[in-house]
């Protein structure tokens, strides 16, 4: 019997950043029905993951990047389609999968049971291909909307923690990281270090070349900072042309080495902004604490700031370390 007509148009929306919209999981214990369904889904330009029963489908859904479009047969050995719906909905996940349940049952009570179990849609066998394609398009639109919402949520989360101009952690975030690292160091006995950086003669850059050039300089300094840091350290914009770098699990020698490497990374090459080549340097103050040195965050910043002042007084483009 020919269960499905043969439309060729693709049904997918553009692939999102968070949820794959170009793939579908098909679970059906009837090999012929499953093969026919797979064939037509592929003609609609969908990548198909096939499951011969509910247990196999459940295993596939535990994998990273599992499809969010799901077509389940009602009656399957191991785990039925209805029970699989319940398991999927009971999971804790940021992504909401769209589930279509297929069955030969057409009683209204069966429809109620399927929807109560967590199915988003319900299609009786034998089904029309155009109807299935339309229902898949509905699911794709819903998942596309979910992608947009997740993307917006991620953007808001990023903006809440990062400086808009430089992309570094903002003042509040880097200070919170300092609190956590100082507390961890007091428990473990490890050192925690902080570097306070100030761009030398930054006002003259703004005055002579404009604030857009000044912004570009800050962005390039941020890029060089992150490129010269260890992977487990943190950098944030403290305010204006001042930056904080949090050094985790370091000793005095490591702190001095890291500070000098960052100073060199910023001053070694001119910063190019349009046709301009600006030789930019930073002055830096450093402070350190450990389990037997009971400095809190504000005391550490105060000591680093005092060391920074000495670096400025000494002639700039240098590092001063607080004893």
Instruction: Please check whether residue 6 lies inside any domain of the structure.
Output: no
User: d(Cα 170, Cα 244) in Å, to the nearest integer?
Assistant: 10
User: d(Cα 323, Cα 302) in Å, to the nearest integer?
Assistant: 13
What is the predicted pLDDT for the residue at 9? Answer: 42
Average pLDDT over residues 218-234: 95
90 part of the active site: no
Instruction: Give me 103's structure tokens.
Output: 């069955």
Give the distance, in angstroms, between the CA of residue 260 and the centroid of all CA atoms in the same chain: 31
Q: Is the pLDDT of residue 10 over 90?
A: no
Which one is catalytic: 9, 241, 260, 299? Answer: 241
What is the predicted pLDDT for the residue at 1? Answer: 33
In this prediction, residue 290 has a pLDDT band, given cuts at 50, 70 and 90, of low
Instruction: Please check whether residue 11 lies inside any domain of the structure.
Output: no
Does residue 133 share a domain with residue 180?
Answer: no
Q: Is the pLDDT of residue 3 over 60?
A: no
Average pLDDT over residues 170-191: 88
Instruction: Please check whether residue 7 lies inside any domain of the structure.
Output: no
Last residue of a domain, one of 131, 159, 187: 159
Domain count, the chain: 2
Does residue 177 share a domain with residue 146?
Answer: no
Range of the domain at 273: 171-321
This prediction has a pTM of 0.67
Does residue 120 share a domain with residue 177?
Answer: no
pLDDT tens profile 22-50 = 789 999 988 888 888 888 898 888 889 99
What is the predicted pLDDT for the residue at 295? Answer: 77
Instruction: Please check whether residue 12 lies inside any domain of the structure.
Output: no
Does residue 184 share a domain with residue 125?
Answer: no
What mean pLDDT value characterizes the chain? 87
Instruction: Please check whether residue 4 lies inside any domain of the structure.
Output: no
Does residue 203 share a domain with residue 138?
Answer: no
Q: What percent of the chain has pLDDT over 70?
A: 92
CATH code, 29: 3.40.50.2300
pLDDT tens profile 85-131 = 999 999 887 788 999 998 887 777 878 888 898 999 988 887 788 88
């Amino acid at each position: 019997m020919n269960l499905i007509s043969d439309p060729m148009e693709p049904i997918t929306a553009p692939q999102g950043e968070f949820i794959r919209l170009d793939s579908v999981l098909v679970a059906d214990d009837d090999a012929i029905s499953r093969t026919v369904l797979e064939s037509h889904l592929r003609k609609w330009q969908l990548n198909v993951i096939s499951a011969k029963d509910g247990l196999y489908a459940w295993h596939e859904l535990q994998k990273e990047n599992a499809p969010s479009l799901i077509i389940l047969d009602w009656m399957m050995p191991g785990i039925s389609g209805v029970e699989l719906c319940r398991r999927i909905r009971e999971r804790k996940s940021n992504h909401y999968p769209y589930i279509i349940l297929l069955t030969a049952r057409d009683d209204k009570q069966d429809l109620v049971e399927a929807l109560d179990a967590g199915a988003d849609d319900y299609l009786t066998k034998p089904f029309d291909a155009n109807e299935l394609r339309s229902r898949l398009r509905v699911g794709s639109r819903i998942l596309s909307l979910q992608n947009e919402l997740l993307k917006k949520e991620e953007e808001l989360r990023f903006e809440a923690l990062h400086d808009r101009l430089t992309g570094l952690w903002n003042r509040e975030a880097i200070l919170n990281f300092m609190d956590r690292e100082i507390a961890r160091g007091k428990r473990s006995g490890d050192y925690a270090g902080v570097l306070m950086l100030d761009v030398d003669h930054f006002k003259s850059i703004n005055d002579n070349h404009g604030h857009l050039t000044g912004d570009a300089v800050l962005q390039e300094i941020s890029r060089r900072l992150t490129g010269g840091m260890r992977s487990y350290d943190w950098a944030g914009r403290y305010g204006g042309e001042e930056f904080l770098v949090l050094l985790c699990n370091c000793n005095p020698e490591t702190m001095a080495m890291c500070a000098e490497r960052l100073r060199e990374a910023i001053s070694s090459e001119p910063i190019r902004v349009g046709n301009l080549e600006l030789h930019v340097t930073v002055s830096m103050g450093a402070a350190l604490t450990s389990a037997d040195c009971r400095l809190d965050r504000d005391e550490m910043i105060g000591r680093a700031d005092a060391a920074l002042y000495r670096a400025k007084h000494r002639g700039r483009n240098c590092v001063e370390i607080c004893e």
